[in-house]
A and B are shown apart, each in its own frame.
Chain A
Amino acid sequence: MYRYSEFDAAFLSERNAQFRAQVERRIDGSLTEDEFKPLRLMNGLYLQLHAYMLRVAIPYGTLSSAQMRQLALLAEKWDKGYGHFTTRQNIQYNWPKLNDVPDMLDALAEVGMHAIQTSGNTIRNVTADHFAGAAADEIADPRPYAELLRQWSTDHPEFQFMPRKFKIAITGSENDRAVIKAHDIGLQLVERDGVLGARVIVGGGLGRTPMIGKELSEFVAFDDLLAYLEATVSVWNQIGRRDNKYKARIKITVHEHGIDAIRAKVNERFLQVRPQFKGADMALLDEIKGHFAPPAFRKGSVASFEGAYTNDPVFRSWVDTNIAPHKNADHAIVTISIKKHGQTPGDATAEQMRVMADLAQEFAYDELRISHEQNVILPHVHKSDLPVIHAKLKEYELATANIGLISDIIACPGMDYCALATARSIPVAQEIATRFDELKLEHDIGHLKIKISGCINACGHHHVGHIGILGLDRAGVENYQITLGGDATESAAVGDRTGPGFAYDEIVPAVERIVETYLEQRDGTEETFLETYRRVGMAPFKAALYPEARANAA
């Protein structure tokens, strides 16, 4: 875990004091909203539909138990007793009052957290594989590099007024759990001839113009990576379009100029930038690596785990869905579902946050992760501790065995909270989860990712959902478009639209018809939804969704 240096602490304290004074000047009328808005956004404070919203960064999704407890404190003291984990490894508080926000930021600073650059046309919170440092399939822990990027990008003088926001994701595994191909820059750690570096993907993004990122470089050694990234962002900062915010993201720049032309410009800029990096960044990276040293994994028998697995079917079901392989065979990665059927995806109460913090402290070497899929992870757990963890989670409605299943839905806040939304997404997620729980089908259906966005900006990643749902306003009524075949992993793909959208009360039955079609079409229980879709194509799903069209065509 990264521990703030004196410099970090002083920087944050100064910044929070500045914002406190800015809030005071806004309240006493010295600042207009036009003057204040860019200042509050720089500090993560939005004004949403019903209230302000404070977005707090959870850098690369990593939290200590003390940090999680502080998030619980914020929820209880200044909000309505809960927080919302987002698809960018942030936590959002939906009900802060303006004059409480400076105190909230000071409370966050006590545990080395902030809300800086969670908004605005800056480099946003750097996200990472939520299994980083624990996954069995990892080349190296990407978080030290992510922390270096956080420090590099925070208050970077060249990158405070860019054409648009800029998002970076990093993974240390070939199996992409960080959706790197849907980010402005995606980094995959690779090793070549014993040298650690990264494959650099550029120009991915969702939103109104979804694009899968393209390879800018197959390998950049760590020594050169920061200069290379600075060159890349710098090229876009210069030539990215500022005339039209919908064409301002780097994906459009890459699309309009072509990846080869962008690569040439980046290489040219890199030669100019490289001499400015004299090795201080590598010295800093070495120091940061020390903060992320793996814990001293305890040894011990896993017999109690095996006994519980054999004898307790509820525990077994949870292990089968919510546990992932750890790099140490006697350990496991636990994903705690924040998706109990019928609940709001990603919402955790202060009490639940404290329970998870306690479990992390007692059993998981004091570490927690937040995934972009809006769940919480205990990355290092000795298998013998799993039964007691499961029992505790059950008490607090945190033991739902649904990771990767149809009810493990990503949903943006939608029109229940967001000022940009064109339709609701939370109740759609709640109803789909409730419906398939009633049908008792979800374990039979197997691996299936539903992702829901309440507007075209695609915070709910609908384009890369196996089933994607996009809520729109059609002539003053909520309407939901469906896409199929999206993929958020290393084989990333944007889903295909099925056809006309569905009304609010038609969307859950439509999803049900899609799933029924999959169950009819699949080639045995081993074939996943995505595999079936790739094999049989859109036609049978279309026929199930639009029977009238089929009748008319016949």
Chain B
Amino acid sequence: MARAFTPKVVTANDLLEGDVVYLTEDDRWSRDFSDAELITDEAHAQVRLLDAERQYSKIVGAYLADAVAGDSGPEPTHFREDFRRTGPSNYAHGKQETSPQPRA
């Protein structure tokens, strides 16, 4: 039996800077996980992933990442995505330099 679909966001890396980006509902690429479109329908997720992959002159390596609804937008469910939305733990680099995000 196929596994039940769990909510997703579309994420990728910015082509020029490599920074982690998320696809928003209004077709922008945001640097903040909480701005991402939370996709709860499997077929819609595939459509949105194709939408993202077509934008290969803006982004690299789009994929669907697990997420859940939080108080202020989607939040990651796995620690890998938590690191991706934050930055490394040994220096306050990456997203921590510009938009501080408290760790979940």
Interface residues of A (CB under 8 A from B): 26-29, 32-33, 47-52, 80, 94-99, 344, 347, 415-417, 424, 426-427, 430, 473, 476-478
Contacts and interface: CB of A to CB of B under 8 A. Distances in A.
A33 B89 CA distance: 29
Given A426-B90, A476-B78, A476-B79, A51 B18 contact: yes
Contacts of B19: 50-51
Nearest to A415: B83
B16 A99 contact: yes
B84 A50 contact: yes
B18 A97 contact: yes
A424 B90 CA distance: 10
B24 interface: no
A99 B13 CA distance: 15
Contacts of B13: 47, 51
A228 B44 CA distance: 57
A136 B91 CA distance: 39
A47 B18 contact: yes
Contacts of B94: 50-51, 95
A50 B87 contact: yes
Contacts of A50: 18-20, 84, 87-88, 93-95
B79 A98 contact: no
A98 B89 contact: no
B1 to A, nearest CB: 20
Interface string B1-20: 00000000000010111111
A300 B38 CA distance: 72
Contacts of B79: 415, 473, 476-478
Contact of A430 (B90, B93, B95): B90
A94 B16 CA distance: 14
Contacts of A47: 13, 18, 60-61
Contacts of B78: 476
B90 A416 contact: yes
B84 A49 contact: yes
Given A49-B83, A415-B83, A476-B79, A97 B90 contact: no
Given A51-B19, A52-B18, A473-B80, 14 more contacts: A27-B57, A29-B56, A47-B13, A50-B18, A80-B93, A96-B18, A97-B17, A97-B18, A415-B83, A416-B83, A416-B89, A416-B90, A424-B89, A477-B79
A52 B77 CA distance: 24
Contacts of B77: 476
Interface residues of B, number: 25
Contacts of B56: 29, 32-33
A25 to B, nearest CB: 11
A26 B18 CA distance: 14
Nearest to B84: A49
A37 B18 CA distance: 14
Interface string B60-104: 110000000000000001111001100111110111000000000
Contacts of B93: 50, 80, 94-95
A33 B18 CA distance: 13
A415 B80 contact: yes
Contacts of A94: 88, 93
Given A50-B84, A476-B79, A98 B90 contact: no
Nearest to B15: A98
Contacts of A33: 56, 60-61
Nearest to A417: B88
Nearest to A51: B18
B61 A426 contact: no
Contacts of A347: 90
Contact of B16 (A97, A344, A473): A97
Nearest 10 pairs of A and B residues by beta carbon: A51-B18, A416-B88, A29-B57, A52-B18, A50-B94, A344-B90, A426-B90, A98-B16, A33-B60, A32-B56
A94 B88 CA distance: 10
Contacts of B87: 50
Nearest to B79: A478
A476 B104 CA distance: 14
B93 to A, nearest CB: 6
Contacts of A477: 79
A140 to B, nearest CB: 40
Contacts of A52: 18
Contacts of B61: 33, 47
Given A47-B61, A476-B79, A477-B79, A427 B15 contact: no
A80 B91 CA distance: 10
Interface in B16-47: 16-20
Contacts of A28: 57
A27 B90 contact: no
25 contacts: A27-B15, A49-B83, A49-B84, A50-B19, A50-B87, A50-B88, A50-B94, A50-B95, A51-B94, A80-B91, A94-B88, A95-B18, A95-B93, A96-B18, A98-B15, A98-B16, A415-B80, A415-B83, A416-B83, A416-B88, A424-B89, A426-B89, A427-B89, A430-B90, A476-B78
A424 B78 CA distance: 14
A50 B98 CA distance: 14
Contacts of B80: 415, 473
Contacts of B20: 49-50
A197 to B, nearest CB: 44
Contacts of A32: 56
Nearest to A429: B90
A47 B95 CA distance: 16
Nearest to A48: B18
Contacts of B89: 416, 424, 426-427
A49 B19 CA distance: 8
Contacts of A98: 15-18
Contacts of B57: 27-29
B17 A51 contact: yes
Nearest to A342: B90
B76 to A, nearest CB: 11
